[in-house]
Structure 1
Amino acid sequence: MTTLQLKNIVKRYKSQTVLDDLSLDVADGERLVLFGPSGAGKTVLLRLVAGVIDPDEGRVLIGGEDMTEVDAEHRGVGMAFQNFALFPHMSAFDNIASALTSRKSSKESIAAGVQKVAKLLKIDHVLSHHPKALSNGQKQRTALARALVGSPPLLLLDDPLRNVDAKLRFEMRLELPRLLASEGATVVYVTQDYKEAMALGDRIAVMSQGSIHQIGTPGDIYNAPADIEIARLFGDPTINLLDVVPQRGPDGAFVELSNVRFRLPNFGAEIVGKSCVLGLRPETIAFTEASALGAIPVTVEAETPLNEKTVTLTLTARGREILVSRPAGTPGPVAGPAHIAVNGRAALLFDKESGRLMRPAELTSKRNGEAA
C-alpha cells in the first residue's frame, strides 16, 4: 500500500516562505491534482516529496514510513520534471529505459516496457533520437515515459503535458487516467490547466502562496468553490460575479436583476442585508421568452462562437455584465433586447469582505437592500 502523507511542511528560501505549514494526505491508488497559479509552490512540493530538496520543517511519509531523511534514489518514486531533465548524451530509448536499467532488468523486458509506453505517448518513432533532435513536446513525452516505464508505486508528474500540442494534450487527458489506473500507482499531478485538473484528478488540491486553500473532488471544487478566486480559476467562460445585498420577500430571500426579483432558494433570512457577491456560472443561464416566469430582461451586446459553445455578453438594466453560455448550434439572440432565465439553485454567494463562500449556517443577519 502506497500512501503519501505530508505533515506540517515548511520550506523557505532566504526570507521567502514557499510552503507554509502544509499538510496533505493522498490515499493508496489515488490521483491527486495540485492546481494553482505559477508561484503557488506546486513544483517545490513535488521536488520535496521526491527527495530532491529537503523541508525546513515537517515530515514526508510514504507508505507509512518516514522518508524525510531518505535519499531520493531510495524512495521508490517516479517523477517527470517540467524542465525535461533528459540525459543529452543518451537516445530517447535509453533515457526512458534508465529506470529499468538501474534495476538490472533483462534486455527483453526493458525493450518491451519502453516500446509499450512510447507507443502510448506516440514517440515510438523517435526512440533512436537524442534530445537535441527532439521537439519540446517529444522531450516532455520522453520524460513522462521515463517516469511511467518503471511502474513506480508513487508517481509525481510536474505539468507533463505543458509543451505538447493541443490535439495530443486532449488525447492524453483521456488516455492518462486509464494508464495510471491500470498501473495502480498513487499519483500527484501538477497542472495550471483547470480542464486537465478536472479530467485527471480523483481530488484536486488548490494551492496559492504555499498553502492549500481547498481540496475536494472536481465536482466539489467547481460547484462549491471555497472563495471567489477559486471560482474564477475554474470555468471557461469565467463565472459571473455581481455585488448584491439580498432582501427579504414573502417567499424567501431575493436579489433584483434588471428590476426582477431573483430568488435564492438555498438561503433564508440569514443573508438579508448582508453585502454579498452573487456567482452565476454562464452555463446555468439560458435565454427564454419574455412571458416566462421570472424572465430577466437584458440587452445582448456581443456574441462569440467558441467551437463547442457560444458565449453571449449581456447587460442588465443597471449595466451589469452577464455572460451566457449555450451549446454551439443552439438558437439565441445576437443583438438587442432579450430575456434570460437563471437557475437559482446553482447560484453561489460569497462574502464581499472576505471573498469566502457563504453557507446558510455561517451567516448572520443584517439589514439594507440593493438592486443588481
Structure 2
Amino acid sequence: MSLVLNNIVKRFKTETVLDDVSLSVDTGETLVLFGPSGAGKTVLLRLIAGVIEPDAGQISIHGQDMDGVEPEDRGIGMAFQNFALFPHMDASANIAAPLTARRMGQGAISDTVGKVAKMLKIDHVLHHKPKELSNGQKQRTALARALAGAPSILLLDDPLRNVDAKLRFEMRLELPRLLKDQQATVIYVTQDYKEAMALGDRIAVMSGRGIQQIGTPQDIYLNPANIDIARLFGDPVINLLDVTPEADGAGVVVSLSGQPLSLDAGYADAVGQDCVIGIRPESLRFVSKGTKGAIPVTIETEAPLNEKTVTLALTKNGREIMISRPAGQIAPSSGEAYIAADTSQIYLFDRKSGTRIAQSSAQNKKKGAA
C-alpha cells in the first residue's frame, strides 16, 4: 500500500469535519474523493500532504508513519484549488519549481516542462506571469507543476474546475493515460460524478464527516449504498418514489400509478415497511397499452439532450417520473402513455434511514428465520 489512513479525526474549533475516516490506496491506483462541497475532501488532502495535522488517527506513506514528517519530506506532489503559483515566476519557472529544487539539469528540466505543458495545452503561455494567465491556464499550470515532479503520491484538488468544457472533456480522456504513465498513486478530488467515473480506479464517496462508500465506478453506480449516493450518480437523476411493498401470490409488489410492479423475492422482509423505490430513467421504456407490467403515465414534456431524450411524466397520483431513451428512438411526446421498468435495475431504500435494502440480505434473513 502506498497510503493508509486509520481512524482520522479533524476538528476546527467545535466543528468536526472528519470523523473516524479510514482508507487505503494501492501503489499506482487512482482514488477519487467525490462528494458535495463541505464534505471534507480538501481537508483530507491537506492532512495527507502534511499541511495540517489530524486531531486523532494515523497517516502512513509507504509503510512509514507521517506523524511529525514535514510536507516537503513526504514525497508528495499537490495541485491546489487556489493555484498557489509563485507570482514573480513565469509559468515555465512555476512548472519547473520541483525539478529546480532537485538540482536537475537545465536540459532535462526544459524537456519535462515542455512535454507536460504541451499535453495540458499551455505551451504557448510558458513565458507569461500568473497575472497574465486566465484562471483555466493558472489551474493547468498548477497541475503541470504537480505532474512535472513525478512524485510517488500525487494529490489533485479539483484540477479541472476552471477549465472550459471542451478542454475538460479532452482532459478526462488524456489524464488517465498520463497518470498511468507516471505510475503515481493519485488522490483526485472532484464534485463532478462523470469526472469521478472517468478517472477513478475506485471512488470514495464523502458526505457527513466521513466516507459513505468506496468501490469501483461501476459498483458505486450499480450498487449505491444509500439514497444520497444514488442521487449523486446519474444524469438525469434517479427517480425516487415512496412505496410500501406488499406480498401477493407471486412474491413482492409495489404500486406505481395504481398498477402492481413486481420486485425480486429477496425483498420479502421489506413487506409492510415504509420504503423508497429507486428507478433510473434509463431503466424505463415506453410500451404499448396492454403490455404486461405496463404503468400508465401522463407526459408533461420532453427534452432532447444530444445523445438521449428525457421525458418528464406524471403517475396517476401526480408523482413525477423521468424516462430516458436514446436520441432518435420514437416514443409518445404528449398525452397518455405507458411505461415498463427493468426490474433487475430497481433499488429499494429504507425511507427513514435512506439505506439501500439489499436483496441478498433479505434472502439470508428469511433463510435464517426458517
Report the TM-score range of the alignment, normalised by the length of the smaller protein: over 0.9
Cα deviations by residue, 1:324-358 (Å, 9 ceiling, x for unpaired): 01122221111101111100110000001111000
Q: Which residue of 1 aligns with 2:41?
A: 42
Q: Which residue of 2 aligns with 1:296?
A: 295
| Contact 1:271/1:360 (<8 A) preserved | no
Name the CA distance, whole Å, in 1 between partners of 2:181 and 2:168.
20
CA deviation after TM superposition for structure 1 residue 265, in Å: 2.1
2:216 counterpart letter in structure 1 = T
Q: Which residue of 1 aligns with 2:161?
A: 162
Q: Which residue of 2 aligns with 1:279?
A: 278
Name the CA distance, whole Å, in 2 between partners of 1:128 and 1:268.
63
CA deviation after TM superposition for structure 1 residue 269, in Å: 2.2
Q: Which residue of 2 aligns with 1:138?
A: 137
Structure 2 residue 44 is matched with structure 1 residue 59: no
| Contact 1:284/1:343 (<8 A) preserved | yes
| Contact 1:152/1:185 (<8 A) preserved | yes
| Contact 1:7/1:59 (<8 A) preserved | yes
Give 1:1-372 correspondences, 5 Å limit: 3-265=2-264, 267-363=266-362
2:133 counterpart letter in structure 1 = L
| Contact 2:252/2:265 (<8 A) preserved | no
2:44 counterpart letter in structure 1 = L
| Contact 1:270/1:360 (<8 A) preserved | no
CA deviation after TM superposition for structure 1 residue 292, in Å: 2.2
Name the CA distance, whole Å, in 2 between partners of 1:360 and 1:195.
27
| Contact 2:202/2:214 (<8 A) preserved | yes
Name the CA distance, whole Å, in 1 between partners of 2:172 and 2:242.
36
CA deviation after TM superposition for structure 1 residue 362, in Å: 4.2
1:195 counterpart letter in structure 2 = K
Name the CA distance, whole Å, in 2 between partners of 1:39 and 1:88.
28
Name the CA distance, whole Å, in 2 between partners of 1:119 and 1:289.
54
Cα deviations by residue, 1:263-293 (Å, 9 ceiling, x for unpaired): 1126342221111100000011111111322
Name the CA distance, whole Å, in 2 between partners of 1:127 and 1:266.
63
2:121 counterpart letter in structure 1 = K
Name the CA distance, whole Å, in 1 between partners of 2:267 and 2:129.
65
CA deviation after TM superposition for structure 1 residue 115, in Å: 0.6
Where does structure 1 lack aligned partners over 5 or more consecutive residues?
A: 366-372
DSSP 3-state at the match of 1:174:
helix
Cα deviations by residue, 1:39-58 (Å, 9 ceiling, x for unpaired): 11110110110111111111
Over 3 Å off, 4+ runs: 360-365
CA deviation after TM superposition for structure 1 residue 361, in Å: 4.9
1:352 counterpart letter in structure 2 = R
1:185 counterpart letter in structure 2 = A
| Contact 1:298/1:340 (<8 A) preserved | yes
Between 126-135 and 315-324, report the one with greater CA deviation.
315-324
Name the CA distance, whole Å, in 1 between partners of 2:134 and 2:66.
36
Name the CA distance, whole Å, in 2 between partners of 1:159 and 1:167.
16
Q: Could you tell me the TM-score, scaled by structure 2's length?
A: 0.96
CA deviation after TM superposition for structure 1 residue 259, in Å: 2.2
Name the CA distance, whole Å, in 2 between partners of 1:292 and 1:265.
20
Where does structure 2 lack aligned partners over 5 or more consecutive residues?
A: none
Percent identical residues: 64
Q: Which residue of 2 aligns with 1:370?
A: none
Name the CA distance, whole Å, in 2 between partners of 1:82 and 1:35.
15
Cα deviations by residue, 1:138-174 (Å, 9 ceiling, x for unpaired): 0000000000011111000000000000000011011
Name the CA distance, whole Å, in 2 between partners of 1:174 and 1:22.
30
| Contact 2:264/2:359 (<8 A) preserved | no
| Contact 2:266/2:360 (<8 A) preserved | no
1:146 counterpart letter in structure 2 = R
1:80 counterpart letter in structure 2 = A
